[in-house]
Amino acid sequence: MKSLKFLSIIAISCCFSLSHGYAKETIYLISSSSAYDESYIPMIVKSFNNKGFNVSTQYLDQRLSDFGYVNTDRERAKNLVNALSNPQVKYLWFVRGGSGALNLLPILESKKEVIKKTSPKVLIGFSDVTVIHYFINNYIGWKSIHGTTAASGRVINASSNSDLSNQAISSRSANNALVQSKQSDESSLQTDAIEQIFSSINNGIKYQGLLPLNQSAHVSQLNGRLTGGNLTLVQTLFSTTYEKNWNNKVLLLEDVNVTYKQLDRLLHQLLFKKDFHPKAIVFGQFYPNKTNDGERLIYKQVIQSYADQTNIPVYYYPYFGHGKVNQPFILGENAKISCNKDSDYCSIVQNKM
C-alpha cells in the first residue's frame, strides 16, 4: 500500500514538473481597428497577470486618425505585419474591434510571404477582426480564435483563482487533460473568457444546442472547415479581389446594431449570391442585448425565413457574437456538426489547435 502511495506521489510530481517547468507565456496586445479606451489597458494587463501570463504592449501605439482608427491605415498595417512576423510572438490578442481592418488587406497581402516565414501565431478576437482572421486563415494558412476581445468585461473581470500560463505551454499534462476534458456547455457559458479560450485552444470545443432550421440541416453528420465571423465584414469581402471560395465550408455569422429589416436585406443578398455553396451556416446572436422576447423572436424569424428558402443547412446558436455570451470557435479548423434523430438539437465539435 505504501509503495502505491509512493508511486502516486511520483506520478503527480512528474505531471507537475511537466506543466510547470517552462517559462511563462506572453500575451501580446494589439489593436488594428477603432480607437480604444487606454484606461482599460492596466486592467487588461492585471487580469492576464492574475492568470499567470506576462503581457506585452509593444504593439499598442494609438495615434488617433481622422476617422477614429487607432492610427493611419499604413501605420496600422505596418504594426500588424511586425507583430505577425515576430518569431517571439505566439498569442496576439486584439484589444477591440470596431471598423477599419478591411483597409489593411492590400498591405497585408503584399507582405504575406514575409509573414509565412515566421512561426504560426494564435490570433484572438472577433467583430472587425473577422477580416484579419480571414486573411490569416486563407492567405497564411494559420488557424485562429473567434473569441472575445481583450477590452471585454469577460477578460477584465476574469477570476484570478487559477494559473493558465503553463496550461498554454503544456496541454499534454495529464492533470490538465483530465480536468479540461470535462468541458461542457455549462462551463463554456462561464464569464471567464481567458480560461474558456485557452481551454478551446488546448482541448478543442464541443457545443450542444445548435437548432436546425431547415430540412437540409437534419443530417446525421457534416464536416467543413470553419470560417466567417461578423456578417457585415464577411459581406464586405464579396466580389473583391480578396474574396476566396466559401464552398464546402461551415460559415459562422453574427452581427450587432443591425435592425431585423436590414438583416432581412443582407440575408437576401446571401440568397441571391452566385456560386455560394457553404457546407452549412451557423447563425449566432443578432438581436440587441437590451431587448425583449418579441424582438428577439423577430430576429430569429428573419433567419428562419432565409433557412426556408435555401438548400444550405442552417443552424441557430445565439451563444456567440456581441452578446453576454461569446463562445470561442477555431477558425480554419475542421468543424463536425452531428444531429441525433432523438433530439431537437445538434452539436458542433472541433479538435484542439
- Measured between alpha carbons, how far is 54 from 226 in angstroms, rounded to an integer? 30
pLDDT band of residue 24 (cuts 50, 70, 90) is confident
HSE-up of residue 143 (Cα within 13 Å, Cβ side): 18
Supply the DSSP string of 179-205, one letter for each residue: HHTT--HHHHTSS-HHHHHHHHHHH-E
Domain with CATH 3.40.50.10740 in the chain: 22-167
Domain with CATH 3.50.30.60 in the chain: 204-350
Q: Determine which of 13-22, 117-126, 246-255, 298-307 has the lowest per-residue pLDDT on average.
A: 13-22
Catalytic residue (one of 25, 195, 254, 333): 254
Q: Determine which of 2-6, 113-117, 178-182 has the lowest per-residue pLDDT on average.
A: 178-182
Residue 304's contacts (CB-CB under 8 Å, 6 or more residues apart) are 213, 316
Quick one: which H or E segment has residue 263?
helix 260-272
Mean pLDDT of 162-181: 46
pLDDT tens digits for range 94-108: 999 999 999 999 999
Give backbone dihedrals phi and psi of 150, rounded to 5 degrees, phi first. Answer: -70, -25
Specify the residue for cell string 499534462.
173
pLDDT band of residue 189 (cuts 50, 70, 90) is low
Helix (H, G, I), strand (E, B) or coil at 211: strand
Provide the whole-model pTM.
0.88
8 A C-beta contact, residue 125 and residue 149: yes
Distance of CA 123 to the CA centre of its chain: 8
pLDDT at 162 over 80: no
* 127 a catalytic residue: yes
pLDDT band of residue 158 (cuts 50, 70, 90) is confident
pLDDT at 15 over 80: no
pLDDT at 5 over 80: no
Residue 224 to residues 37, 88, 145, 190, 338, Cα–Cα distance (Å)? 38, 32, 16, 27, 12
pLDDT reported for residue 336: 98
Beta bridge partners of 122: 91
CATH number attached to the domain at 22-167: 3.40.50.10740
Quick one: which H or E segment has residue 231?
helix 231-236
Residue 143 to residues 108, 135, 191, 201, 343, Cα–Cα distance (Å)? 17, 10, 24, 10, 31
pLDDT band of residue 157 (cuts 50, 70, 90) is confident
pLDDT tens digits for range 106-146: 999 999 999 999 999 999 999 999 999 999 999 999 999 99
* 218 a catalytic residue: no
pLDDT band of residue 166 (cuts 50, 70, 90) is low
* 268 a catalytic residue: no
- Measured between alpha carbons, how far is 45 from 24 in angstroms, rounded to an integer? 14
Catalytic residue (one of 31, 34, 56, 127): 127
Fold of 204-350: Glucose Oxidase; domain 1 (3.50.30)
Closest to 115 in 3D by CA, of 74, 83, 145, 93: 83
pLDDT reported for residue 2: 41
Q: Sign of torsion, CA 219 317 161 95?
A: positive
**Which runs of E-coded beta strand occur in the chain?**
26-30, 54-59, 91-94, 122-125, 144-146, 205-212, 221-230, 249-254, 280-283, 314-316, 329-331, 334-339, 346-350
8 A C-beta contact, residue 131 and residue 234: no
- Measured between alpha carbons, how far is 147 from 321 in angstroms, rounded to an integer? 8
pLDDT tens digits for range 29-77: 999 999 999 999 999 999 999 999 999 999 998 999 999 999 999 999 9
